[in-house]
Each structure stands twice: as C-alpha cells, then as structure tokens.
C-alpha cells in the first residue's frame, strides 16, 4: 500500500463556500492549515474570490485599501496591449501588478475529517497595508495551549510572512510580520528544541533563481535569526525550480519528518519528504528522491492552476499521515499515506 486518495475527493469545492460579498465569486478553496481542536478537525481554508464583472471586455481586480479600510475594485480592459493577462493569477501593467483574486482565511470543522461545516464569513481577512491582496496559505502549530498561525500576506511591498494566534478559533490576535519580503512557506515546529523555537521558511533570491527551504530560530516566536539553508532545488527533475515547506513537521522516532512541496520548470507541483535530526534540525538525514504525492487525477491536473498538489497541513496518528492538500489551486482534497511507506522512500 502506498497512497490512498479519499474516494470523496475533492472534499471541499468552491461551490461549498459562500462568497464574502454578493458581487464576488469564489474561484478557489485550497491550501488549508489543519488542527485538532477538542473532538473536531479544523481546517483554516484559503478562500480565493474575484469580483464579478458586468462587462465581458473588462477584468476587475480587488484589493484592500488601508486608508479607507475597505475593498476597492479596479478595472482593466482586456484588449489593452500593455497589460499582461498571460498568468491567470496576475494582471501585470506598467504601473504595477495586481492579483486576479483576493484571498482570506475561513474556518471549517468536521468530526470525521471528510464532511465539513464551513463558516459563512471570513475568520481572518485583509486588515492592513501588508495584506492589500489578501492572506494566503496558513499553517497551524499547537504550542502549549495556543494555536499559532503563520500565513502569507501579499501586497505591492511583496510577500511577507505573518503570525497570528488563537486559543479558541473564535478570537484571533495578530502579531505582525515575522519574515520580510519576499518570504513565504513559514512553518513552526510544534515544540522547543533545546531552548529555541524553530521555523522553516522560503526566502527568494531572484538574481540566482533560488527558491530553497531555510531554517531559523527564535526565543520568542517574533524575532528570528541564525538563518541557515536546509535544502534546495535538485536539477533535472520534479524539484528543479522551487522547493518550500508544506505541513508542520511531525516528530517520529527517526527524526522530524517534513512533508514539503516542489515545482519543476513546467510549474508542476508535487509533494516530497525530508527527515531532520531530532535535536539538531539543521541536519538533513534523508530525503525522498521521488514525489510521495503528485498530480495524477483530473481534479489535480485541471483547475485554476493545474498540475498542482500543495499541502499546508496534515494529521499524524496510528502511524499514518492524513494529508489535506490543495488541488490545482481550486479545491481541497485528502489522502492517506502509511508512515512506513514515506520512511521507506527516504534516501540519505
């Protein structure tokens, strides 16, 4: 046995989500953070919406205006030769870049991990200048009695990594930017190692085209230092363009197991795994040479951004990894992998 996809995939689709506004439509629900809370399984969904245009020759972009504390719409003519619409995620103009959607984070809960009740309104939505184009890709780490949420804030200033926390998933406290742009895929380890907190993160080096996983440490979860590279791209394969952290690391008898994502030069996103030393997490013990999950099903190949499987969270129990993942930047799916299968796939 290797991977078992849920027969009810996708478990959450855009049609299951109520738009936050009457003039918006939900085009994607994906890349959810995962947590156990009492007897429930919680997903913190990334919900991507776009404004409905009344004109077929006009594309609308939505963004948060911090001065007015409101969402503003901007029009773009489709036949404008100076505007680039080639990437479905972006509107690129001489004056700047806009996103075709704006994302917020919304809570869903379940007793069985498959059938979810979804809140009708956002849990966290744009609220400051760093979040102009929305909040993306949350990861949830339980430390003590507090759930810490790292997420990507997107604005014209770049992609910053931010931190929020909650004890009840009703009241959320924002702690601000913890990694400057461009940085994303920030994942907190679920316990201190020695006397430090540790985080995985993914700074971008556009000059050398590096998208690699780094490790950082902190005494308080807010100020991070002692940055060091952990793993990078590997040439001529499924991870030769980008690698980035995925789910919160799982502590096993063999070390910290991190399920990460990687993309090739064709922007095909797959999942792999890396094993880190328990006491010295900067030491890489082994890594999967091949993906443990790759886009094979139609719902993973076709969508807003096809050929994509991307995880922000998993559940680990009974020697099994239950992975919630975004499929084609459109839906949320679920799959299970035996821990033994993943460990057997690792190579030094």
137: left (phi over 0), alpha (psi -120 to 50) or beta: left
Tell me phi and psi for residue 344, to 5 degrees: -70, -20
- Provide the token pair at 21: 């506004």
- Provide the token pair at 6: 């849920």
Entry field: residues in the chain: 348
The three-state secondary structure class of 99 is strand
CA–CA dist 19, 125 (Å, integer):
13
Whether the Cβ atoms of residue 254 and residue 298 lie closer than 8 Å to each other? no
Dihedral of the alpha carbons of 55, 61, 62, 67, in degrees to the nearest 10? -110
CA–CA dist 40, 95 (Å, integer):
46
Can you give the pLDDT at residue 88? 87
Tens-digit pLDDT profile for the chain (348 aa)?
589 999 999 999 999 999 999 999 999 999 999 999 999 999 999 999 999 999 999 999 999 999 999 999 999 999 998 999 998 889 999 889 999 999 999 999 999 999 999 999 999 999 999 999 999 999 999 999 999 999 999 999 999 999 999 999 999 999 999 999 999 999 999 999 999 999 999 999 989 999 999 999 999 999 999 999 999 999 999 999 999 999 999 999 999 999 999 999 999 999 999 999 999 999 999 999 999 999 999 999 999 999 999 999 999 998 999 999 999 999 999 999 999 999 999 999
3-state helix, strand, coil in the chain (%, to 5): 5, 55, 40
CA–CA dist 185, 229 (Å, integer):
14
- Provide the token pair at 68: 């007015």
For the chain, how far is it from start to end, CA to CA, in angstroms?
23
Nearest to 248 by CA among 315, 152, 180: 315
Give Dmax (Cα) for the chain. Answer: 59
Whether the Cβ atoms of residue 204 and residue 264 lie closer than 8 Å to each other? no
pTM: 0.96
CA–CA dist 265, 85 (Å, integer):
20
Vertex 236: Cα angle to 233 and 242 (nearest 5): 30
Q: Is 174 exposed, middle or buried (0-12, 13-18, 19+ CB in 10 A)?
A: middle
Cβ neighbours, 10 Å, residue 129 = 14
Domains and CATH numbers, the chain: 4-345 (2.115.10.20)
Can you give the pLDDT at residue 292? 97
């Amino acid at each position: 046995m290797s991977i078992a996809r849920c027969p009810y995939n996708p478990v959450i689709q855009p049609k299951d989500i109520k738009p936050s506004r009457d003039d918006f439509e939900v085009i994607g629900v994906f890349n959810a953070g995962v947590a156990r809370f009492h007897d429930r399984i919680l997903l913190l969904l990334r919900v991507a919406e776009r404004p409905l245009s009344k004109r077929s020759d006009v594309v609308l972009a939505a963004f948060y205006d911090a001065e007015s504390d409101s969402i503003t719409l901007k029009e773009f003519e489709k036949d404008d030769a100076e505007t680039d619409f080639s990437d479905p995620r972006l509107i690129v103009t001489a004056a700047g870049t806009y996103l075709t959607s704006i994302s917020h984070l919304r809570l869903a809960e379940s007793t069985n991990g498959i059938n979810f009740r979804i809140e009708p309104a956002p849990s966290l939505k744009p609220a400051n200048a760093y979040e102009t184009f929305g909040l993306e890709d949350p990861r949830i780490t339980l430390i003590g009695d507090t759930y810490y949420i790292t997420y990507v804030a997107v604005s014209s200033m770049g992609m910053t990594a931010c931190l929020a926390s909650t004890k009840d998933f009703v009241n959320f406290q924002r702690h601000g930017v913890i990694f400057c742009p461009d940085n994303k895929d920030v994942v907190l380890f679920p316990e201190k190692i020695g006397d430090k907190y540790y985080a995985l993160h993914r700074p971008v080096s556009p000059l050398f085209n590096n998208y690699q996983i780094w490790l950082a440490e902190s005494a308080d979860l807010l100020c991070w230092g002692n940055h060091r590279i952990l793993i990078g791209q590997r040439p001529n394969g499924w991870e030769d363009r980008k690698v980035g952290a995925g789910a919160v690391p799982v502590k096993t008898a063999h070390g910290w197991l991190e399920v990460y994502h990687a993309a090739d030069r064709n922007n095909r996103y797959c999942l792999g795994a890396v094993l880190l030393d328990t006491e010295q997490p900067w030491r890489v013990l082994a890594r999967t040479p091949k993906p443990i999950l790759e886009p094979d099903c139609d719902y993973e190949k076709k969508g807003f951004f096809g050929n994509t499987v991307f995880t922000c969270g998993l559940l680990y129990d009974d020697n099994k990894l239950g992975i919630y993942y975004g499929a084609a930047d459109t839906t949320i799916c679920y799959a299970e992998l035996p821990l033994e299968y993943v460990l057997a796939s690792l190579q030094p």
